[in-house]
Amino acid sequence: MKNLLEKVAIVTGAARGIGKSIAQALLELGAQVIIIDLNQEEIDKTVEELTKVNENIFGYVCDITSIKTVGKMVKSISKDFGSIDILINNAGITSDKLLIRMKQSDWQKVIDVNLTGTYNCTQKISRIMMKQRSGKIVNISSIIGIMGNAGQANYAASKGGIIAFTKSVAKELAPRGINVNAIAPGFIKTKMTDKLSDGVKEEYLAQIPMKKFGTPSEVADLAIFLCSKNSEYITGQTIAIDGGMV
Ligand code: NAI
């Protein structure tokens, strides 16, 4: 697949984990990739590593919860690169607690990053894509947004919100040649899931028909499909990648 040559792609939360894998896959196909994350040092490390794949990688420190910061960043990227063809809304956090113990701040910070952050980036970048009359937006949701999970009411609400957001925005942007889809990963091996106890991991494993966890590069393969011409007639969809769990 060579049809991503010279496309300009933005991947949020891409200093590590699934976002980093998606950035790498885009670079392998010749795209110019801008990775967004919170920490300059982590971004620099990832940029240095991925430069070996393709030197068209750039890093930006940006907290996606601030629409002002996102607006400034998008202005600067569009000035430097001329176009923005692909947006991967990947940055996300968890703050797991049973509802009874969940403080309003635990609720708010997860909604702010996962849902409002996705809105902020999509709102600013879709304007540019609308003018271009082309673009691909891929939102990283989660199977928890489909099936719910005890201890993750905040996370499930944010990820379910992303699915509904995806469907609505897909309808708005389809006439402008922009595809908007979501990916709902199951249990993927990253730092986010590393912090779970062995007991919790075993409980998840028991619920996965394929009896194994997924990898970031498997999620990246699906993201690439959704950014390519091969998925031109698909929009508003949420595709689960979960070893059969849902
Ligand atoms: P991770 O924790 O390894 O990486 C997330 C990245 O997002 C980090 O580099 C972090 O610094 C960045 N980030 C957090 N807040 C940010 C903000 N305000 N602005 C900019 N960047 C920010 O997580 P992982 O596992 O790679 O997850 C990526 C996405 O996939 C998340 O949206 C997550 O909810 C989703 N997901 C992950 C699953 C898994 O099993 N690992 C399963 C289902 C969904």
Per-residue pLDDT tens over the stretch 12-48: 999 999 999 999 999 999 999 999 999 999 999 999 9
DSSP state of 78: H
Q: What average pLDDT does this structure show over 149-153? A: 97
Q: Which atom of ligand 1 is nearest to the CA of 89?
A: 32
CB-CB contact of 244 with 208 (8 Å) = yes
Annotated active-site residue 204? The verdict is no
Q: In angstroms, what is the span from residue 13 Cα to ligand 1's centroid? A: 6
Q: In angstroms, what is the span from residue 128 Cα to ligand 1's centroid? A: 25
Beta bridge partners of 88: 11, 138
Specify the pLDDT at position 188.
97
Q: What average pLDDT does this structure show over 191-200? A: 91
Specify the pLDDT at position 6.
85
Q: Which atom of ligand 1 is nearest to the CA of 191?
A: 3
Residue 175: HSE in the Cβ half-sphere, 13 Å Cα cutoff: 3
Q: In angstroms, what is the span from residue 178 Cα to ligand 1's centroid? A: 24
- Please tell me which residue in 60, 119, 155, 233 is annotated as part of the active site: 155
Share of the chain above pLDDT 90, in %: 96
For residue 1, is pLDDT > 60?
no
Binning pLDDT at 50, 70 and 90, where does residue 72 land?
A: very high
Residue type, 142: S
Q: In angstroms, what is the span from residue 144 Cα to ligand 1's centroid? A: 14
Protein residues with CB under 6 Å of any ligand 1 atom: 12-13, 15-19, 36-38, 63-65, 90-93, 113, 117, 140, 142, 185, 187-188, 190-193
Share of the chain above pLDDT 70, in %: 99
Specify the pLDDT at position 129.
98
SS3 at position 96: coil
CB contact burial 207-238 (16+ within 10 A = b; e otherwise) = ebeeeebbebeebbebbbbbbbeebeeebbbb
pLDDT: is 195 or 60 the higher one?
60
Residue 71 CB neighbour total at 10 angstroms: 14
CB-CB contact of 16 with 93 (8 Å) = no
Per-residue pLDDT tens over the stretch 81-140: 999 999 999 999 999 999 999 999 999 999 999 999 999 999 999 999 999 999 999 999
Specify the pLDDT at position 5.
84
Residue indicated by tokens 């430069």: 51
Indicate the top mutation candidate among 10, 46, 93, 203 to test ligand 1's pocket, ranked by most ligand atoms within 8 A of CB: 93
DSSP state of 188: B
